[in-house]
Amino acid sequence: MVNRFMFRGIEIQFRFDVTLSMDSTNEIEAPQDMLLDMEITSFFDSAPPLKDGIDIDRKITEFIERHSPLSGNLGERRIVCVTSGGTTVPLERRCVRFIDNFSSGHRGAASTEYFLKAGYGVIFLYRRGSCQPYCRFLPDDPFLECFEFTQESNVQVSESHFEVVKKAISNHHAAIAEGMLLKLPYTTIFEYLQILHKIAVPMRTLGGQGMFYLAAAVSDFYVPWNSMAEHKIQSASGPLDMRLVQVPKMLSMLRKIWAPLAFCISFKLETDSNILLQKADMALQKYKMHAVVANELSTRKDEVVVVTSNERISVKRDKAVAGDDVENHLIKLLVDRHSLYIKAGPDHGA
């Protein structure tokens, strides 16, 4: 059966039984999937190339190999890819203005600490300048606020910050030195999705041992690179009208093609609690996530709701325990669920 539809002004014909050219056993069954794939191809084709793509590939491959059962170097360890911070959408090619998604990166940084504590290798895909693991309790500008210049012409940690600085630097450096933490920075939505793809494809070799914990605030809308203004938009008289198109839903691609056996957790942030759980449910079904973590902007540090196909589990910070985080309980729950998922085998869990 041949179908016809319009895509970017070009009439497209296709048959229902085509399969994707990427190496996958999943057949593409519906025209929506075909359309999505084309949108994604178009997104990647038009994206500016990553500056240090080869170096990033090498780092990811080495990290995953070190943790894989074949090399045995660090045993058969689980690996989680934690995404953190917010992506930007450039409005001009020679970028002066961009749209940004607010996210401090606290959730991703805290979660990384608890995943490391649970023995996971962590690939931390973070927004440049966002919060780093073990650095959550530092002041805004730790470099200028925590150190002082002594009379002996030396630089030392000021006494009031000594404990928090010591913990941050020792834990952070230890995680990297032990080969448990790989940090990869991004800024734009183009960089984020390209690097996520680079991580996901070799993660396939881990099967169910791999996990994605997608806490980054990813732009919903973008200006396609090839329709973007070359130069700075001029502020002539009158208002500025902008048309942004939707970012293709990469979560579908991640689940179906890139790493179909990995355990996948995504996040839903809303400011309106009335629509939050409904939106989380929709995301769960649409992208076939194993769980969606629903959080509301104003209470996100105290409580989240883990939505699965048959449960809604409220996870709260224990206010009676000083320094307790909601991520402490959230990661414990998700690690347990990941264990069950591995035990059940991919055919049951996926």
* Residue ranges that bind its own copies, judged by CB under 8 A: 88, 91-92, 94-102, 128-129, 132, 135, 138, 140-144, 146-149, 153, 155, 157, 162, 165-166, 168-170, 172-173, 217, 219-221, 230-232, 235, 237-246, 269-272, 297-298
Determine the Cα–Cα distance for residues 295 and 83; give it in Å rounded to an integer.
16
Shortest Cβ 230–its own copies spacing (Å): 8
**Nearer Cβ to its own copies, position 206 or 293?**
293
Long-range contacts of 195-199 (CB under 8 A, 24+ apart): 195/50, 195/56, 195/125, 196/81, 196/83, 196/125, 196/250, 196/254, 197/44, 197/250, 197/258, 198/53, 198/56, 198/57, 198/60, 199/60, 199/81, 199/123, 199/125
**Nearer Cβ to its own copies, position 185 or 349?**
185
**Nearer Cβ to its own copies, position 128 or 343?**
128
**Nearer Cβ to its own copies, position 71 or 226?**
226
**Nearer Cβ to its own copies, position 3 or 246?**
246
Please report where in the chains the tokens 């959550």 appear, as a residue.
136
Paired strand residues for 7: 10
Single-letter residue type at 348: H
**Nearer Cβ to its own copies, position 32 or 71?**
32
Shortest Cβ 68–its own copies spacing (Å): 28
Shortest Cβ 100–its own copies spacing (Å): 5
Shortest Cβ 105–its own copies spacing (Å): 12
Determine the Cα–Cα distance for residues 13 and 38; give it in Å rounded to an integer.
13
Q: How far is CA 202 from the centre of its chain?
A: 16
Indicate the helix (H) or strand (E) that contains 281: helix 273-287
Shortest Cβ 248–its own copies spacing (Å): 12
Shortest Cβ 156–its own copies spacing (Å): 8
Angstrom CA distances, 9 to 5, 188, 249, 287, stand at 10, 27, 21, 27
